[in-house]
Chains A and B, each alone.
Chain A
Amino acid sequence: NAGVMQNPRHLVRRRGQEARLRCSPMKGHSHVYWYRQLPEEGLKFMVYLQKENIIDESGMPKERFSAEFPKEGPSILRIQQVVRGDSAAYFCASSPNADTEAFFGQGTRLTVV
């Protein structure tokens, strides 16, 4: 059973471009969480999704950020018109239900130049 797979591992974007980060949860996991880690900081919760539904997006910036978890395929975190402040490591985690611990992927490190 493969772990949580995130790709790409590293992503470089110029200011104003779009960034798409992908997360394939572990097999049998229908709950996905996205977190952002800024340098020297802990992880900050962004959004919680179940298949085809956004359950909690209280940690998402109001503009430029969106997330989806379609019926088929990976979860996508999309950042439009990236700015330098978006440079961070973005981690995805998945769990089979809301009451068990989540397993983390290795993250996507976004650098905006």
Chain B
Amino acid sequence: AQSVTQLGSHVSVSEGALVLLRCNYSSSVPPYLFWYVQYPNQGLQLLLKYTSAATLVKGINGFEAEFKKSETSFHLTKPSAHMSDAAEYFCAVRRPGADGLTFGKGTHLIIQP
């Protein structure tokens, strides 16, 4: 079985500050890992994914995430927050060859002007 824990249901940062959204996973085998963003009343948009290639993954909108096997983490970062980054962010895991994604509960990112 696999699971995802996102620390902090709400994270607030100032515009221009570093964004750090935490994600820890548990999986019996090396998983695929994903970050999605959801804007209000919208579907999910893929930000980035890790599929056992480079451990530092760059995504859209300036986001990146680093896979750390020893820490079972896949934290999402962005050097400088923008007001348009305010949204809900979901970390997800999938065992290679398995069906469907297992999602964390999400982190609501708030950007203070």
A-side residues, CB < 8 A to B, are 4, 6, 33, 35, 40-45, 48, 55-56, 59, 91, 93, 98-99, 101-107, 109
Q: In whole Å, how far is B72's beta carbon from the nearest beta carbon of chain A?
A: 18
Bound CA span A90–B44, Å: 12
Instruction: Kindly identify, within residues 24 to 78 of chain B, every residue whose CB is under 8 Å from any CB belonging to chain A.
Output: 34, 36, 41-46, 49
B-side residues, CB < 8 A to A, are 4, 9, 34, 36, 41-46, 49, 90, 92, 96-97, 99-106
Q: In whole Å, how far is B41's beta carbon from the nearest beta carbon of chain A?
A: 8
Bound CA span A55–B90, Å: 25
Q: How many A-B residue pairs have CB under 8 A?
A: 57
Contacts of B43 in A (CB 8 A): 4, 6, 91, 104-107
Other contacts beyond A59-B100, A103-B46: 15, CB < 8 A = A4-B43, A35-B100, A42-B106, A44-B103, A48-B99, A55-B99, A91-B43, A91-B44, A98-B97, A99-B96, A101-B46, A102-B101, A104-B44, A107-B42, A109-B41
Q: Do residues B102 and A45 form an inter-chain contact, with CB atoms below 8 A?
A: yes
